[in-house]
Amino acid sequence: MRTERPFTLVDAAKLGLYGGIAAVLISLVGMVDAFAKKDIIAGVVSMSQVLLGAMAFTPALFAATRALRNGGKGGALAAGAVAGAVAALLVALLALSIAPLNLRAIFVNATPKLVNELLPVGSEGLMGATILVVAGIVVGLLAALLTWLPATLRRSTLISLGAVTLIALLKDVFSVIIPTDVGRFVYKSNGLSVEGAVVLFITILVIAYLWQILQPRLNRAVDRMPESRRRVLSFVATVGLLALLFALPVLLGSYLSEVADLVGFYIVMALGLNVVVGFAGLLDLGYVAFFAIGAYTMAVLTTPELPLVRSFIPQLSFWAALPISVLMALLAGVFLGVPVLKTRGDYLAIITLGFGEIIRLLVLSDALKPVMGGAQGVTGIARPEGFGMRADSPQEFYYLILISILIAWFVTSRLKKSRLGRAWMAIREDEDVAAAMSINLVGYKLAAFATGATLAGLSGAFFGSKLGSMVPASFNVLVSINVLAVLIVGGMGSLPGVVVGAIALIGLPELLREFNEFRWWVYGAVLVMMMLYRPEGLWPDATRERELLEDKEPNVIDEDPTGLAEDATVPT
């Protein structure tokens, strides 16, 4: 095991410097100004204050965690205070320099209003800057005190703080779902009430703490059950979950069902990309092409607004066009796979990226406008109809999307446990060894591409029908990036991880549309943190988790101040 030099206060100051730079950056791009309009606790704590506090709290937590191993509790307190002070000092220097240096000439968000938001309420100038630095020291000390707690209690506290913040941000969502009397107690006009915040924090803290204690016992109890009882328990849990999922539209209403539909599209796509990237290890950056092929096939076959196409092909119903849309996406996957699957790694990623751009430019071109609609797109796409009903509302489409998710889940879960799935995983681990074991690399890679393309086409067909119109702008490379990010955050190769990742990266930003302009900043920060401290994902696949952690030394995992990495232990 490699030895580490002692953690010093200079190291703590460096961590605080990183936090301070991040705070200055988010201030100058306008995040602080935008978040100041949203309160976490009405009239007490705003979201911008929470955001700036996190820029001091996070490096202080990391610094105190590392100092605790070398210098004990006193060293942790000193490291936390230094990190918090340095982070706050940079913010104070920004506030003091905006007017004298005329920073607004360079940064449009560097306004007097920003100065008021950075400095404590009712303070200004050097006095305000001093108070801000003292506040940073206090935040750093609180972070250090948190490291004194047992790992279980520390995790529960952090989970509770994050959950309370999220519940406050999603006020418009929860106030519709929860009973009116509860909503009046928990919420005020622009955030949580003080009493509601305290009750929520304590309740979530207790639940998180008890769950972490009881979960291992429950797992051991289930493991000791006979196989027949485990199957019965699994069946009952599955039926209960399905009943809840089918009842959600009634509970959620129209807006939340719309968000659930969007998350569902990405879940189906991510389950398909999970086969390509998570199972077979093939980096596909042009996955949106298959999604677009499914959507445009549905549009072309069902719209009455393309006279040239209608002169050759009669207008089809949704259900008649659905299998053709899926088949076209499958054929496109085979068409792409045959010439390129002898490549690997970065070369394969570049080729698939180019394929995605080719498809987008084809549907955008004037040459294919009589067939594809060109830049103006296609409208009048058919909706699903049957049994005297027509799917028009988000709630009605929710059930169709849920059924497609269940089909995709069943197919991918069965493939993962099959001989084909084991061959994909062998290719992912080492192509040369897999070839030496007589695995047909091109054939199995082609099967992975075809499977992923099929599910993308299925999602695209439903997406086109739900929107009722298609434009090329809906199929840019960012869709592929989003789906890949869902896999990374949820966990490569993990089916539950796909759902968790889609909810976190697609559902939450949709619910927080007022901050939508900063989505990519948050994406970047989340991905960096995930790669550093949770590379296996939020809900990792067991095999993938062992692969990522088997070469790590114990002291690297222990550096995680949240304690989340302690859950990611390698079975012996």
Question: Does residue 134 lie within any of the structural domains?
Answer: yes
Decide if 301 contacts 316 (C-beta within 8 A).
Answer: yes
| Dihedral class, residue 111 (left if φ above 0, else alpha if ψ from -120 to 50, else beta) | beta
Question: Do 144 and 161 sit in the same domain of this protein?
Answer: no
DSSP 515: G
Q: Say if residue 449 is in the same domain as residue 496.
A: no
Answer whether residue 233 is part of any domain: no
Asked if residues 207 and 199 have their Cβ atoms less than 8 Å apart, the reply is no
Residue 17 is assigned to a structural domain of this protein? yes
Q: Report yes or no on 247 lying in a domain.
A: no
Burial class for 6, CB neighbours closer than 10 Å (0-12, 13-18, 19+): exposed
Same-domain pairing of 16 and 110: yes
Residue 282 sits in the same domain as residue 194: no
Domain range enclosing 22? 1-148
pLDDT at site 413: 92
- Half-sphere exposure in the Cβ direction for 467 (13 Å, CA): 18
The stretches in the chain having pLDDT less than 50 are: 1-2, 553-558, 566-572
pLDDT at 269: 94
Mind giving me the DSSP string for 224-244? HS-HHHHHHHHHHHHHHHHHH
Do 370 and 306 form a contact (C-beta atoms < 8 A)? yes
Give SS3 for 393: coil
Domain end position, chosen among 449, 475, 501: 475
pLDDT for residue 372: 85
179 vs 185: CA distance, rounded Å: 10
Last-in-domain residue among 148, 167, 192: 148
- Let me know if residue 400 belongs to a domain: yes
363 and 504, same domain (yes or no): no
Answer yes or no: do 366 and 461 share one domain: yes
How far apart (Å, rounded) are the C-alpha atoms in residues 506 and 490?
A: 12
340 and 392 together in one domain: yes
pLDDT of residue 158: 93
Do both 269 and 390 map to the same domain? yes
Residue 466's closest CA among 357, 407, 391, 550? 391
Q: Are residues 6 and 130 in the same domain?
A: yes
Same domain for 175 and 215: yes
Distance CA 223, CA 230 (A): 8
| Neighbouring C-beta atoms of residue 569, cutoff 10 Å | 12
Provide the angle, in degrees to the nearest 10, between the axes of the packed helices 288-302 and 441-467: 50
In a domain, 229, yes or no: no
Predicted pLDDT at 570: 35
Question: Does residue 244 belong to any structural domain of this protein?
Answer: no
User: In total, how many domains does the chain have?
Assistant: 4
List beta partners, residue 187. 192
- Residue 340 CA to its chain's centroid (Å): 30
- 107 and 183 assigned to the same domain: no
d(CA 259, CA 53): 30
Residue that finishes a domain, picked among 148, 174, 193: 148
The Cα 344–Cα 330 span in angstroms is 21
**160 shares a domain with 28:** no
**Any domain includes 392:** yes
